[in-house]
Amino acid sequence: AFNQLEYDTTIRRCKTRPVKVGNVTIGGGHPVVVQSMINEDTLNIEGSVNAIRHLHEIGCEIVRVTVPSMAHAKALEGIKQELRQTYEDVPIVADVHHNGMKIALEVAKHIEKVRINPGLYVFEKPNSKRTEYTQSEFEEIGEKIGETLKPLIISLRDQGKAMRIGVNHGSLAERILFTYGDTPEGMVESALEFVRICEYLDFRNLVISMKASRVPVMIAAYRLISKRMNELGMDYPLHLGVTEAGDGEYGRIKSTAGIATLLADGIGDTIRVSLTESPEKEIPVCYSILQALGLRKTMVEYTACPSCGRTLFNLEKVLHQVREATKHLTGLDIAVMGCIVNGPGEMADADYGYVGKTPGYISLYRRREEIKKVPEDDGVEELISLIKADGLWVDP
């Protein structure tokens, strides 16, 4: 006999350790965290505060900024101060680069998380004619990296702050390329080398990312690091993203293909959708991915049939009207179906249904139960009345 329990549809997330970034926790079973980045110059304190605040208000839970110079690093102090005084203490993450260890230490004083790219910690001489590295050369460079990073790691560790080890497929160090190739394996080894340095210094507030602009590469790299960490007994949360995804519809589809595939595998604790558009455009895409997978519910879930020859009303128009009237009611599932033939069955577990009944009339459903038949012109108002009668309405 058919056993519903054999078909459990819940995504089982990989177990990871909780990493605190200010008042937000990444991993440890916490909801998948949404991130984005301002494109304001960090030297412009007022502009940056406004941009951070705006992104945070629309759902960006950790905001990233760039810090290309010491002056930018020092400006972070003013930004944080202003946020605390005029808004709230939004968790901030900043990128720092190899040649900027002094900058990194300054940054670590002011914000909650520092992102480093292992590919930028290069000790090989430029124009090197070499084509391979011996094990001892490889390790020697690893030690130099460790010495360079040590003050930053200790600073973050002692302040209870976090670090993202952000590997990029496009910027792997030469010795990684010579040893492992331009491969997901190279990306994983690059990250693990940095993880070991941090663990050696007893620092484990780590988040790891394996970004690539090609989706199959990114998926393979995240799957591999997840597997390797599992084998090694490591449990660091993963930050998912597709770099340089571009813009528009394809940028969104490309990001979703990479991020959602991994989330469905249970991989990933925080996400960023990188679009070549203003940063606030990234946030709804993140939340839509999480909602579609059932990982976070932050908006009304609409089910609507695609319409066909049986459709009894202007489905596109009505769906738009229903959405406009109810989109603020977080947590509800509402279905809009063109006809009675397949409508009630196909709207599955929706809380409310708006279904074409006969020409000029629609039926309103509560779950699978038909509540009343009303003229189509009154449909949206009647739906609102039904939700109000059930005590689930709140004013927008």
Binds ligand SF4 (CB under 6 A): choice among 342, 370, 392, 393: 342
Q: Is 60 annotated as a binding residue?
A: no
Q: Is 308 annotated as a binding residue?
A: yes
Which residue, 65 or 339, is less far from ligand SF4 as judged by CB?
Answer: 339
Which residue, 255 or 307, is less far from ligand SF4 as judged by CB?
Answer: 307
344 contributes a contact to ligand SF4 by CB under 6 A:
no
Binds ligand SF4 (CB under 6 A): choice among 70, 232, 292, 308: 308
C-alpha–C-alpha distance, residues 135 and 137, integer Å: 6
8 Å CB contact between 212 and 169: yes
Which residue, 207 or 337, is less far from ligand SF4 as judged by CB?
Answer: 337
C-alpha–C-alpha distance, residues 22 and 222, integer Å: 25
Number of residue whose CB is nearest ligand SF4: 338
Binds ligand SF4 (CB under 6 A): choice among 311, 321, 323, 370: 311
343 contributes a contact to ligand SF4 by CB under 6 A:
yes
Distance of CA 82 to the CA centre of its chain: 26
Which residue, 331 or 360, is less far from ligand SF4 as judged by CB?
Answer: 360
Instruction: Map residue 309 onto helix, strand or coil.
Output: coil
Q: For residue 395, give both structure tokens.
A: 């004013």
Long-range contact pairs involving 365-372 (C-beta distance under 8 Å, separation at least 24): 365/335, 366/390, 368/344, 370/344
Which residue, 16 or 307, is less far from ligand SF4 as judged by CB?
Answer: 307
Site for ligand SF4 in 209-248 (CB under 6 A): none
How is 43-69 classified by DSSP, letter by letter?
Answer: T-HHHHHHHHHHHHHTT-SEEEEE--S
303 contributes a contact to ligand SF4 by CB under 6 A:
no
Q: Which helix (H) or strand (E) holds 336?
A: strand 333-337
**Nearest one of 244, 68, 85, 266 to 171, comparing CA atoms:** 244
Binds ligand SF4 (CB under 6 A): choice among 70, 341, 389, 394: 341
Where along the sequence are the contacts to ligand SF4 (CB under 6 A)? 305-308, 310-311, 337-339, 341-343, 346
